[in-house]
Amino acid sequence: MRLPEKCFEWQAGALKFGMTLSPCIWAVMIWWDGNPYSLAVALPFVRIWCEHDGGRYWPWEWTILRVIIGKQEFRVDLALNYWGIGVDLVETDDWSIHLGPLDIECEYNKFYDVDDDWIRPADLRLFSKVRTPCERQRGSESQEMRRDLSDAGPAG
């Protein structure tokens, strides 16, 4: 279930600005990326961001550990472009703990059954199986997940 938040967006020429107010942001963070060019700052209860079309993805993020138990996924990521300290609650089944460039993601019933080049295979998998998509879905589904996540902007 999505937790309460209020989002605002403004366009100024080629720049897009936004602000999210939420009682679920309990962190101080800074995040930047290159596709699109973007910068975000989060303080308790508020996230402010700016983006400009263009650029390319910067591969500054790596999954260090991925553990799946049933439908619950725990993932430790190292993101050199995402620094912060605190807790970010996106949904009741999707929250993260930030400690500098380390991010501990806890997600339930999201991508637990996916092992591919986008989400690395689980280091430990208990009571769960990898979904094998039919041949037609393999490329399009992975691309669709990437598109959905990139449209979401800088979220915890």
Highest mean pLDDT among 2-6, 56-60, 150-154: 2-6
What's the burial of 27, exposed, middle or buried (CB within 10 Å: 0-12/13-18/19+)? buried
- Total domains in the chain come to 1
Residue 26 lies in a domain: yes
Does position 71 have pLDDT exceeding 70, yes or no?
Answer: yes
The confidence band for 127, taking pLDDT boundaries of 50, 70 and 90, is confident
Q: Within 10 A of 62 (CB to CB), how many other CB atoms are there?
A: 11
Alpha-carbon distance of 66 to 109, in angstroms, equals 14
Mean pLDDT over residues 27-50, rounded?
Answer: 94
Per-residue pLDDT at 150: 46
Residue 85 lies in a domain: yes
DSSP readout, 85-128?
EEEEEEETTEEEEEEETEEEEEEESSSTT--SSSSPPPSEEES-
41-50, 95-104, 121-130: which has the minimum mean pLDDT? 121-130
- Quote the domain boundaries for residue 84: 6-143
90 or 88: which leads in pLDDT: 88
21-25, 83-87, 143-147: which has the minimum mean pLDDT? 143-147
Kindly report whether the global pTM for this prediction surpasses the value 0.85: no
Does position 89 have pLDDT exceeding 60, yes or no?
Answer: yes
Residue 154 lies in a domain: no
The confidence band for 147, taking pLDDT boundaries of 50, 70 and 90, is very low
Q: Which residues of 105-115 are buried (b: 16+ CB within 10 A; e: fewer)?
A: bebeebbbbbb
Residue 64 lies in a domain: yes
